[in-house]
Amino acid sequence: MNEQKLPHGARILVVRLSAIGDVLHSTAVVHNLKRLVPDCHVTWLVSPPASILLENNPDIDRLLVWDRRTFDKAAAHLDLRTVRQTLKEAAALLHQYEFDIALDIQGLFLSGMLTRMSRAPRRIGIHERHEGNFLFMTEMAPDIPERHKIRRYMTALAPLGIGPEDFMPGLVLKLPDTYDGFAETFFADKKVTLHDPQQPLLLVNTRTTWPDKNWPPEFFGRALANLPENIQIVFTGAPSDQVYIERAQQEMEGRASLSIAGQTSLLELAAIFRESDLLLTGDTGPLYIAEAVGLPTLSLWGPTHPGIYGPLTKGHHFILSPHECTACCKTKCRHRSNACMNAIKPGTVTKALLELLYH
C-alpha cells in the first residue's frame, strides 16, 4: 500500500447502481478498501434489484437505495418531467449526508450526475468506454492495460494510495442468519438430497441477460442427457426461463430433472447455492452469486470473455467458444447467428461436467 491519502474517518460514497454481476464485482473494491482502511465510513448508492445483495454486507456502513428503473423508463420515453423528478429524489437522498470522497465505479453519464449531486469535494472516476462521465469528476483514476473489470474498478482506489499490489480477489455476499437451513427446508419435499457425495447436486442456469450470451436450450438438454442418473439436476432461473428449461428437458429423453425457476428470491437462490456442488451457467448474475457464496462453477463464454468478467477466485472453470468471432463484447451478434455460443458442443460440456463432479 502506498502512502495513505485519506483523512481519518473519511466519509466515502460508492456509486454503483446495477447490474447484479457488476454490483457483486464492486463488492471486491469495497472489501479491499475496508480491509486496508478500516476506519473509513462507506455509503453505497445502488438500485433494485441488485440492492438486496448488499443489505447485509459487513463492509458497507450505510446503504442508499434509489430505483434507476423509473429514470430509465422515463428517459426512454422522453418523459422529461419524470426524469427531473427522479433526479430530484436522488439529490434529496444524497443531500441528507456529507461525503469527503465519492467513487464512481460505474462510469455512466447517469452515475456521473449522481456522483456530482453528492457534493463530495473529491469525485474519482474510472476509465470506461462511456462518454461524458469525466465531466462530473474532479479527478480520474489511472487507466491500466488490464482488461478484467474488477481490477479496472479497483483503480478508483489508486488516488487514495491503494494500488494493484494491495488487491485481494473475492466477492462479498453475506446472507442473514434467517437463511441458515433454507435449502434443506426448500428441498425437503422435492426428493433432492444435499451433501451426498454419491448424489452430487448440479444446478443449471440456462439464460442470461444478453440473448447472444445464451447457449441454446437444446444444447443444455443434450449435454445433460448423458450424465449418470445419480447426478441430481436442478434448473434455476426466472419465471420467464421456464419455457427454455422445458425445451432443454425435452432433449434429455426422460432423464430426471427438476425446475425451480421462479420459486426463489435472489437471496434464497444464494442460500441454495451454498449447499450445492456445481453450477452450470453462462456469463450472468448467478455466476457471481455462486462465486460470492463459494459454489464451484462451469461457465460457457462466447461474446464475452472470462479474462474480462470471469471469477478471479479458485474453483471456477470456463469453456470458451472456439469460434473465431468470440469475445466481441457486443450485446447483439453482428452476424445475427449467435455463432460463437453455438460453436460450443454439448459433448464438450458433458465431459467437463463429469470431470468436475468426479474429480
Q: Which residue has the cell 447426478?
A: 231
Looking at the domain assignment, is residue 1 inside a domain? no
Cis peptide bond N-terminal to 28, omega within 30? no
Q: What is the CATH number of the domain that holds 330?
A: 3.40.50.2000
- The reported pLDDT for the residue numbered 318 is 98
- The reported pLDDT for the residue numbered 1 is 63
Give yes or no: residues 160 and 203 share one domain: no
Looking at the domain assignment, is residue 2 inside a domain? no
Q: Copy the grid coordinates of residue 84.
A: 427531473
Alpha carbon distances (Å) from 330 to 120, 206, 211, 214, 303: 34, 20, 11, 13, 6
Looking at the domain assignment, is residue 6 inside a domain? no
Looking at the domain assignment, is residue 306 inside a domain? yes
Residue 153: which domain range?
A: 11-166
Give yes or no: residues 191 and 220 share one domain: yes
Looking at the domain assignment, is residue 138 inside a domain? yes
Give yes or no: residues 60 and 25 share one domain: yes
pLDDT in tens, the chain (359 residues): 666 678 789 999 999 999 899 999 999 999 999 999 999 999 999 999 999 999 999 999 999 999 999 999 999 999 999 999 999 999 999 999 999 999 999 999 999 999 999 999 999 999 987 779 999 999 999 999 999 999 999 999 999 999 999 999 999 999 999 999 999 999 999 999 999 999 999 999 999 988 899 999 999 999 999 999 999 999 999 999 999 999 999 999 899 999 999 999 999 999 999 999 999 999 999 999 999 999 999 999 999 999 999 999 999 999 999 988 877 877 777 777 788 999 999 999 999 999 999 87
Q: Which residue has the cell 463492509?
A: 59
Out of 145, 166, 187, a domain closes at 166
Give yes or no: residues 22 and 61 share one domain: yes
- The reported pLDDT for the residue numbered 3 is 60
Looking at the domain assignment, is residue 280 inside a domain? yes
Give yes or no: residues 256 and 351 share one domain: yes
Out of 166, 194, 219, a domain closes at 166
Q: How many domains does the chain have?
A: 2
- The reported pLDDT for the residue numbered 185 is 96
- The reported pLDDT for the residue numbered 261 is 98
- The reported pLDDT for the residue numbered 130 is 74
Give yes or no: residues 67 and 191 share one domain: no
Give yes or no: residues 350 and 223 share one domain: yes
- The reported pLDDT for the residue numbered 7 is 79
Give yes or no: residues 223 and 270 share one domain: yes
- The reported pLDDT for the residue numbered 335 is 72
The answer to whether 331 and 283 have CB atoms below 8 angstroms apart is no
Give yes or no: residues 26 and 137 share one domain: yes
CA distance 348 to 319: 8
CA distance 282 to 275: 20
Give yes or no: residues 62 and 127 share one domain: yes
The answer to whether 206 and 237 have CB atoms below 8 angstroms apart is yes
Out of 142, 166, 190, a domain closes at 166
Give yes or no: residues 238 and 134 share one domain: no
- The reported pLDDT for the residue numbered 4 is 60
Looking at the domain assignment, is residue 3 inside a domain? no
CA distance 321 to 180: 38
- The reported pLDDT for the residue numbered 119 is 98
Give yes or no: residues 108 and 147 share one domain: yes
Looking at the domain assignment, is residue 131 inside a domain? yes
